[in-house]
């Protein structure tokens, strides 16, 4: 049975790889956009203007409270009707995953920045550093150390969440596996394959996150 | 675009039913995960070779794979082995499998935070192993673990949103059904969003309160 399963997987490997590329493209695009957005919004959380702070807070809470899949369906079903434009599953997926990742990232950035003791700012200023020097040489290096383990962990979560895109019609690796199952009626090996595949994608990142946490204890 | 108010009132009872089911599912998953979290930590500390590794492997497997794939595996994969479970059973098992791993981690963090002196003091007072765990270790560990455990509960409530894919008639399943049947996209999505707000907002407020009270309590400890 195991031999047959392996043969089945090998025979359908090109199809599965094609789906995997689609999954990884969406994940990568969302991770890049989401992390960048998160840095901007994270700083906005600490803005002097209360309007900016409130806007950032509402954005964060909206994505915290309403599940990603609901947002995905809102983007996929409601945007086309509201703005009378067609939006592909891929676009909706990248849009929502980036926005969700950005919200989660912004909270990590805010946490990293606020965790730096005020004394660090005061000491930098007392040494006569300009604001740019202060941030470049004192604050940002420390903030990045506090931020990185959580950010890597967020990337794992985003890769896992990318599996939801199959529900808005994207032909990702899950969809490819389902197509093969429809043809061959061999559900178990293909779902086992997906299980192992996502584990291989995410586990190294989990290890990296834990290693970073140990390397730079806070 | 016309917003169909009568559609909202007509399908409100459907949403009420689906909301109750989703909440019930979430609560079942939370209870199951807590049990797994406590048992996992108890098992982890047994003087058995491989106990630690077994728990660690389970946690890594559950945390590094998507719930969607876990549910598909349970619902569509296992029947090949002659195991036929209903969608609801698979949903509870899948959520417990995932949530249990998160709970093990949070509770472990709490246990690690109990100071060694506390255990030594308990032992030197002549407490039995059970008394030590019951009166000294658990109360302190759970208080430290609570914010993490609470965050896991909210996470699980949100994760229930994908069980519709294995034919559990939850909120998401109902919404997609209504969109497919009547093309009332806005109205259905609005009801769906409101249902989730109704479910998650009180939970997140309650937990914020709990955290504040814990911190207050600790000042006098």
pLDDT tens per residue across span B27-76: 999 999 999 999 999 999 888 889 999 999 999 999 999 999 999 999 99
CA–CA gap between residue A2 and residue A4 (Å, rounded): 5
Count the Cβ atoms, other than its own, within 10 Å of residue B4. Answer: 13
- Mean pLDDT, residues A64-80: 89
User: Any CB–CB contact under 8 A between A209 and chain B?
Assistant: no
State the virtual CA torsion across A90, A94, A96, A101 in degrees, nearest 10: 150
pLDDT at B1: 58
- Structural domain boundaries of chain B? 5-220
b/e burial code for range B136-156 (CB count within 10 A of at least 16 → b): bbbebbebbbbbbbbebbbeb
Contact B196 A66 (CB under 8 A): yes
- Mean pLDDT, residues B158-185: 88
Nearest to A199 among B65, B172, B189 (CB): B65
pLDDT over 80 at B218, yes or no: no
Average pLDDT, chain A: 92
pTM: 0.89
Q: How far does CA B45 lie from the centroid of its chain?
A: 23
Contacts of B208 in chain A (CB under 8 A): none
User: Any CB–CB contact under 8 A between A181 and chain B?
Assistant: yes
Contacts of B201 in chain A (CB under 8 A): 65
Residue ranges making up the domain that contains A25: 2-215
pLDDT over 90 at A55, yes or no: yes
| CATH number of the domain residue A81 falls in | 1.10.3720.10
How many Å lie between the alpha carbon of B142 and the closest alpha carbon of chain A?
22
Strand spans (E) along B29-173: none
Domain B5-220, what architecture? Orthogonal Bundle (1.10)
Helix A187-215 / helix B51-63 crossing angle, nearest 10 deg: 110
Q: Which of A163, A189, A192 has the most B C-beta neighbours within 10 Å, making it the best mutation to test the interface with B? A: A163
pLDDT at B216: 61
Contacts of B163 (CB under 8 A, 6+ apart): B25, B71, B87, B91, B94, B95, B170, B172, B173
Q: Is A49 helix (H, G, I), strand (E, B) or coil?
A: coil
Name which of B95, B40, B34 is nearest B70 in CA terms: B95
Lowest mean pLDDT among A44-48, B132-136, B201-205, B217-221: B217-221
Name which of B199, B200, B105 is nearest A64 in CA terms: B200
pLDDT, tens only, B120-129: 999 999 999 8
pLDDT at A72: 92
- Mean pLDDT, residues B81-95: 93
Contact B64 A202 (CB under 8 A): yes
pLDDT, tens only, A124-156: 999 999 989 998 999 889 999 999 999 999 999
pLDDT over 70 at B2, yes or no: no
pLDDT at B221: 44
Average pLDDT, chain B: 89
Q: Quickly state the pLDDT bin for B7 (edges 50, 70, 90).
A: confident
pLDDT over 60 at B219, yes or no: no
pLDDT, tens only, A78-128: 888 888 888 899 999 999 999 999 999 999 999 999 888 989 989 999 999
pLDDT over 80 at B160, yes or no: yes
Q: Which of B22, B23, B69 has the most A C-beta neighbours within 10 Å, making it the best mutation to test the interface with A? A: B69
Contacts of B61 in chain A (CB under 8 A): 199
Contact B66 A73 (CB under 8 A): no
pLDDT, tens only, A155-212: 999 999 999 999 998 999 999 999 999 999 889 999 999 999 999 999 999 999 999 9
pLDDT over 50 at B220, yes or no: no
Rg of chain B on CA atoms, in Å: 21
- Residue ranges of A 15-74 with Cβ closer than 8 A to chain B: 64-67, 69-70, 73-74
How many distinct structural domains can be found in chain A?
1
Contacts of A166 in chain B (CB under 8 A): 68
């Amino acid at each position: 049975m195991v031999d047959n399963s392996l043969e089945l997987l090998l025979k359908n490997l090109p199809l599965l790889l094609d789906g995997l590329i689609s999954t990884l493209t969406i994940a990568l695009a969302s991770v890049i956009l989401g992390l960048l957005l998160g840095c901007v919004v994270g700083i906005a959380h600490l803005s002097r203007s209360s309007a900016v702070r409130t806007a950032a807070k509402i954005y964060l809470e909206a994505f915290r409270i309403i599940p990603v899949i609901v947002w995905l369906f809102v983007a996929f079903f409601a945007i086309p009707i509201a703005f009378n434009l067609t939006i592909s599953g891929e676009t909706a997926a990248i849009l929502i995953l980036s926005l969700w990742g950005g919200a989660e990232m912004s909270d990590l950035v805010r946490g990293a920045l606020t965790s730096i003791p005020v004394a660090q700012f005061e000491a930098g200023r007392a040494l006569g550093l300009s604001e740019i020097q202060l941030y470049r040489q004192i604050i940002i290096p420390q903030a990045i150390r506090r931020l990185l383990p959580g950010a890597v962990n967020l990337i794992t979560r985003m890769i896992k969440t990318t599996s939801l895109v199959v529900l808005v019609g994207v032909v990702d690796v899950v969809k490819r596996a389902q197509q093969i199952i429809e043809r061959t009626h061999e559900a178990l090996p293909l779902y086992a394959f997906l299980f192992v595949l996502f584990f291989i994608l995410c586990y190294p990142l989990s290890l990296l996150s834990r290693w970073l946490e140990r390397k730079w204890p806070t | 675009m016309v917003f169909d108010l009568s559609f909202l009132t007509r399908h409100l009872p459907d949403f009420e039913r689906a909301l109750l089911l989703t909440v019930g599912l979430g609560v079942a998953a939370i209870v199951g995960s807590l049990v797994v979290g406590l048992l996992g930590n108890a098992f982890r500390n047994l003087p058995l070779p491989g106990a630690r590794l077994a728990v660690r492997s389970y946690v890594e497997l559950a945390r590094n794979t998507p719930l969607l794939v876990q549910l598909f595996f349970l619902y569509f994969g296992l029947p090949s082995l002659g195991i036929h479970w209903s969608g609801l059973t698979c949903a509870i098992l899948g959520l417990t499998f995932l949530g249990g791993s998160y709970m093990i981690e949070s509770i472990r963090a709490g246990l690690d935070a109990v100071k060694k002196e506390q255990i030594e003091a308990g032992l030197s007072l002549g407490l039995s192993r059970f008394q030590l765990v019951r009166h000294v270790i658990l109360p302190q560990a759970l208080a430290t673990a609570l914010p993490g455990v609470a965050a896991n509960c909210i996470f699980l409530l949100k994760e229930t949103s994908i069980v519709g894919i294995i034919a559990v008639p939850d909120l998401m399943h109902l919404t997609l059904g209504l969109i497919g049947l009547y093309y009332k996209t806005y109205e259905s999505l609005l009801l769906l969003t409101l249902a989730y707000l109704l479910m998650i907002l009180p939970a997140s407020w309650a937990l914020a309160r709990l955290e504040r009270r814990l911190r207050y309590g600790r000042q006098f400890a």
